[in-house]
């Protein structure tokens, strides 16, 4: 049974006479509980795909389907990039945001919020405002907010892109442990191969202009994984090199595409 | 003694306090020695004693309370619709298109120039004075509120949409708090304009208030009494901006 089913999805942005095919004929099926990473060069439409799934953008053609397991559960929640934490709400109110917007019972909001504050280790910071938090802590808030909302699927838009290496590793491991507890379906955007290898059950490799899926790579490394496992696995090293080659070619082609002779 | 001073007041604070103190001392000396004409520039000490006399006789409180009442109600009368219209303009672009030209037409006209029309519309009573203040406060607040909403980072709109905020929640959880910092700047500006307007309005068409006090005493050549009026305006201007800054701290703990 597929959790997310995307069929023939295309998105064309039109600006005056010019148009840009951000996505072209995307077919994708994601199973319940899968952790899928969308990997591609910048401008390959991966963010657009996520924004369509989160209903912030409408597709030009094609359909998306997210299967509902329980009534009253929101279909999806997004973990935004670092700026997505609302600065005028405290850590606690940020985590409770989704539940409050759906007007859940105050008691329920309180218990769930407390639970997720605890899970991301922010319970003693719950009364602080985001300006007082580090980048890593802000992303913990963002992750807790999305999980606390208990959606059918979670969408993550390069949530760790702005973090330094050490913080990134810590947060990746924390995310995996929360994910393993909840068994949610996750669609995660990244441009980091290492990140995709560590997190994903499947890597969907995209190419740009128009954005299409070029490869669907299963990652069979057993969980729980560590970065050491990823680095020492021969199989994953080969995948890394393949993906790296693809991305290099893409970036190069784009550069030639943009050079003055071809413009 | 000296060390105690050093710990309680810093150098920047000392410099900040020094300039008005120096001004007062120079003024006092020049006036006492008649280097500047004491009939037009009475010594600060004389102005203070005049202030105390006027306070004792009670006339001061009448004028002050009249002006403050006008400012308070005029301010509320202007700020409340300005915030509501500004938020709506910021949130819905069609309202922005609709209201913008009207605001642009009326904004450049000094409220005092509209005083005759205000008097015709609202009579010569207290209400017309309040309306004068309300109109002058309205413009900076409405413009800043609208700008405050449209300057909210788009990502918070996306967050609200993604987490299914309804219109009411969006208004109170995103638009209003997000616009608050710029809105309060507009209110700070409005406060200064309100004081400016009420004094001028009272000079033209009133028989009470601080502006009236200044103008009447000038006409009667009671110069120290006139200076008392100026002193009061300066004092209340400072007091209002202190109050607003305290309010800002309370409303924007996240800034």
- What is the ipTM, given to two decimal places? 0.89
Does the beta-carbon distance from B158 to A98 stay under 8 Å?
no
Predicted confidence (pLDDT) at residue B81 exceeds the cutoff of 90: yes
Structure letter (DSSP) for residue A211 = B
Cis preceding-peptide flag for A210 (omega within 30 of 0): yes
- Average pLDDT in the A158-169 region? 91
Looking at the 3D structure of chain B, how many domains does it have?
1
pLDDT of residue A250: 82
Mean pLDDT of chain A: 91
- CB distance B142 to B89 below 8 Å: yes
* Phi/psi at A208 (5° precision): -110, 160
> Lowest-confidence range among A39-43, B110-114, B121-125, B243-247?
A39-43
- A140: CB partners within 8 A, 6+ apart: A120, A121, A122, A171, A174
- Say whether pLDDT at A165 is over 60: yes
Residue in B83, B126, B111 with CA at minimum distance from that of residue B195: B111
Percent of chain A with pLDDT strictly greater than 70: 97
Tokens standing for B51? 């202030």
Q: Is A89 on the interface with B (CB under 8 A)?
A: yes
Say what angle helices B126-150 and B59-91 make with each other, to 10 degrees: 40
pLDDT score, position B237: 93
- Is residue B187 assigned to a domain? yes
Are residues B137 and B81 in contact, defined by beta-carbon separation less than 8 angstroms?
A: no
Give the Cα separation of B30 and B91 in Å (integer): 57
Residue in B159, B168, B177, B179 to test binding to A, most A beta-carbons within 10 Å: B159
pLDDT at A262 over 50: no
Tell me whether residue B20 is in a domain.
no
**For the domain that residue B176 is a member of, what is the CATH number?**
1.10.3720.10
Per the listing, tokens 């068409």 go with B205
- Residue B129 within any structural domain of the chain: yes
Q: How confident is the model at residue A81 (pLDDT cuts 50, 70, 90)?
A: confident
Q: A60 exposed, middle or buried (CB, 10 Å; 0-12, 13-18, 19+)?
A: middle
Residue B37 φ/ψ, nearest 5 degrees? -65, 110
What values do phi and psi take at B94, rounded to 5? -65, -35
Is pLDDT at B125 greater than 50 in this prediction? Answer: yes
Selected residue of A52, A76, A88 to mutate for chain B interface (largest B Cβ count, 10 A):
A88
List CB contacts of A195: < 8 A, sequence separation 6 or more.
A37, A160, A168, A172
Confidence of residue A69 (pLDDT cuts 50, 70, 90): confident
**Domain extent listing, chain A:** 2-75+151-253
Q: Please list every residue in chain B whose beta carbon sits closer than 8 Å to the beta carbon of residue A97.
A: 159, 163, 173
- In this prediction, residues A63-92 reach a mean pLDDT of 91
**Chain B residue with minimum CA distance to A57:** B158
Does residue B144 lie in a domain region?
Answer: yes
Chain A contacts of B162, Cβ < 8 Å?
54-56, 76-78, 80
Describe the strand order of the beta sheet including A153-157 as a list of residue ranges: A76-79, A153-157, A185-190, A35-39, A202-207, A212-218
B169 touches chain A (CB under 8 A): yes
In a domain, B125, yes or no: yes
A83 in contact with B at a CB cutoff of 8 Å?
A: yes
Query: Residue A148, Cα to own-chain centre: how many angstroms?
Result: 16
pLDDT of residue A218: 93
Say if B250 is an interface residue toward chain A (CB within 8 Å): no
Give me the pLDDT at residue A54, please.
92
Tell me which DSSP letter residue A42 carries.
T
How many angstroms separate the CA atoms of B211 and B9, rounded?
37
Q: What is the pLDDT of residue B44?
A: 95
Task: Using the predicted structure, report yes or no on whether residue B2 has a pLDDT greater than 70.
Answer: no
Q: Which two tokens stand for residue A40?
A: 């591609």
Whether residue A64 lies within 8 A of chain B, CB to CB, comes out as no
* Lookup: tokens for B215: 């103008």
Partners of A145 on chain B (C-beta within 8 Å) are 163
Contact criterion met (CB below 8 Å) for A137 and A159: no
- The better pLDDT of the pair A109, A81 is held by A109
Identify which of A3, A144, A29, A5 has the alpha carbon closest to the alpha carbon of residue A80.
A144
For residue A143, pLDDT over 70 is answered with yes
Report whether B74 contacts B198 (CB < 8 A): yes
The whole-angstrom distance between B26's CA and the closest CA on chain A is 47
Could you give the C-alpha distances from B185 to A220, A243, B148, in angstroms and in order? 57, 52, 10
Residue-number span of the structural domain to which B200 is assigned: 44-251
- The confidence score (pLDDT) of residue A260 equals 56
The 10s digit of each residue's pLDDT in B127-180 is: 999 999 999 999 999 999 999 999 999 999 999 999 999 999 999 999 999 999
Q: Which residues neighbour B94 within 8 Å (Cβ) at sequence distance 6 or greater?
A: none
CA distance A89 to chain B (A): 8
Q: Is the pLDDT of residue B59 over 60?
A: yes
Closest CA to A137 of A98, A167, A93, A92: A167
Note whether residue B10 is domain-resident.
no
**Homologous superfamily of A2-75+151-253 in CATH?**
P-loop containing nucleotide triphosphate hydrolases (3.40.50.300)
Q: Which residues of A233-259 are buried (b: 16+ CB within 10 A; e: fewer)?
A: beebeebbeebeebbeebeeebeeeee
CB–CB of B216/B130 below 8 Å?
no
Asked if the Cβ–Cβ distance from B159 to A74 is below 8 Å, we say no
Q: Nearest Cβ partner of A56 from B162, B164, B169?
A: B162
> Nearest CA to CA, how far is B159 from chain A (Å)?
7
Q: What is the mean pLDDT of residues A38-66?
A: 91
Nearest CB to B164 within list A84, A87, A102 = A102
Lowest mean pLDDT among A118-122, A249-253, A254-258: A254-258
At residue A33, the pLDDT reads 93
Nearest-5° angle of CA B33, CA B39, CA B45?
Answer: 60
CB-based contact B164 A98, cutoff 8 Å? yes
CB contact under 8 A, A89 and B253: no
Given a cut of 80, whether residue B108 has pLDDT beyond it is yes
Task: Note whether B156 contacts A: Cβ–Cβ < 8 A.
Answer: yes
Tell me: pLDDT of B41 over 50.
yes
Distance from CA of A122 to the nearest CA of B (A): 18
pLDDT given for residue A258 in this prediction: 64
Is the backbone peptide bond immediately before A224 cis, with ω within 30 degrees of 0? yes
What is the DSSP secondary structure assignment for residue B63, as one 8-state letter? H
- Rg from Cα positions in chain B: 23
Given this model, what pLDDT does residue A225 score? Answer: 87
Nearest CA-CA distance, residue B248 and chain A, Å = 13
At residue B6, the pLDDT reads 53
Distance CA B96, CA B101 (A): 9
Q: List B residues 50-109 in contact with A (Cβ-Cβ < 8 A).
A: none
Q: How far apart are CA A187 and CA A47, in angstroms?
A: 11
Residue B179 is predicted with a pLDDT of: 94
pLDDT bin (cut points 50, 70, 90) of residue A263 is: very low
Q: Average pLDDT in the A160-175 region?
A: 91
Residue B16 lies in a domain: no
Nearest CA in chain B to A147: B163
pLDDT-derived band at B65, boundaries 50, 70, 90:
very high
Give the integer Cα–Cα distance in Å for B114 and B111.
5
**Residue A259: its pLDDT value, please?**
59
Which one is predicted more confidently, A190 or B205?
A: A190
Q: Are A141 and A130 in contact (CB under 8 A)?
A: yes
């Amino acid at each position: 049974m597929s959790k997310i089913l995307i069929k023939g999805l295309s998105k064309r942005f039109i600006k005056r006479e010019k148009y840009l095919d951000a996505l072209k004929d995307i077919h994708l099926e994601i199973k319940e509980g899968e952790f899928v990473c969308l990997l591609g060069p910048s401008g390959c439409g991966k963010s657009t795909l996520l924004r369509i799934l989160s209903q912030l953008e409408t597709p030009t053609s094609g359909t998306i389907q997210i299967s509902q397991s329980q009534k009253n559960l929101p279909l999806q929640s997004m973990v935004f990039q670092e700026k997505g934490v609302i600065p005028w709400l405290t850590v606690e109110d940020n985590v409770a945001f989704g539940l409050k917007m759906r007007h859940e019972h105050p008691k329920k909001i309180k218990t769930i919020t407390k639970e997720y504050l605890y899970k991301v280790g922010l319970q003693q910071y719950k009364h602080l405002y985001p300006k007082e938090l580090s980048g890593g802590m802000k992303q913990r808030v963002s992750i807790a907010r999305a999980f606390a909302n208990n959606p059918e699927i979670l969408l993550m838009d390069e949530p760790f892109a702005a973090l330094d290496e050490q913080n990134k590793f810590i947060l990746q491991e924390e995310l995996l442990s929360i994910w393993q507890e909840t068994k949610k379906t996750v669609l995660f955007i990244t441009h980091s191969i290492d990140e995709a290898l560590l997190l994903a059950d499947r890597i969907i490799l995209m190419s740009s202009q128009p954005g299409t899926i070029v490869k669907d790579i299963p990652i069979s490394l057993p969980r729980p994984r560590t970065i050491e496992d990823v680095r020492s696995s021969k199989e994953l090293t080969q995948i890394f090199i393949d993906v790296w080659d693809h991305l290099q070619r893409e970036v190069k082609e784009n550069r030639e595409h943009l050079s003055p002779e071809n413009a | 003694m000296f060390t105690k001073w050093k710990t309680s007041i810093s150098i920047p604070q000392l410099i900040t306090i020094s300039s008005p103190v120096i001004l007062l001392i120079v003024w006092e000396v020049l006036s006492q020695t008649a280097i500047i004409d004491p009939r037009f520039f009475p010594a600060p000490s004389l102005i203070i004693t005049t202030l105390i006399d006027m306070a004792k006789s009670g006339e001061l409180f009448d004028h002050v309370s009249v002006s403050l009442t006008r400012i308070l109600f005029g301010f509320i009368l202007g700020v409340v619709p300005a915030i509501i219209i500004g938020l709506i303009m910021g949130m819905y672009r069609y309202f922005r298109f609709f209201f913008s030209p009207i605001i642009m037409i009326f904004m450049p006209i000094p409220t005092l120039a509209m005083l005759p029309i205000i008097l015709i519309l609202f009579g010569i009573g207290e209400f017309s004075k309040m309306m004068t203040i309300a109109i002058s406060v309205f413009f900076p607040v409405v413009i800043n509120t609208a700008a405050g909403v449209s300057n909210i980072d788009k990502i918070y709109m996306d967050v609200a949409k993604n987490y299914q905020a309804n219109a009411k929640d969006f208004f109170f959880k995103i638009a209003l708090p997000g616009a608050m910092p710029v809105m309060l700047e507009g209110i700070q500006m409005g406060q200064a304009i309100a004081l400016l307007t009420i004094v001028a309005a009272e000079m033209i068409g009133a028989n009470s208030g601080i502006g009236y006090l200044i103008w009447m005493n000038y006409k009667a050549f009671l110069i120290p009494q006139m200076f008392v009026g100026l002193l009061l305006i300066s004092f209340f201007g400072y007091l209002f901006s202190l109050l607003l800054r305290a309010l800002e701290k309370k409303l924007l703990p996240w800034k």
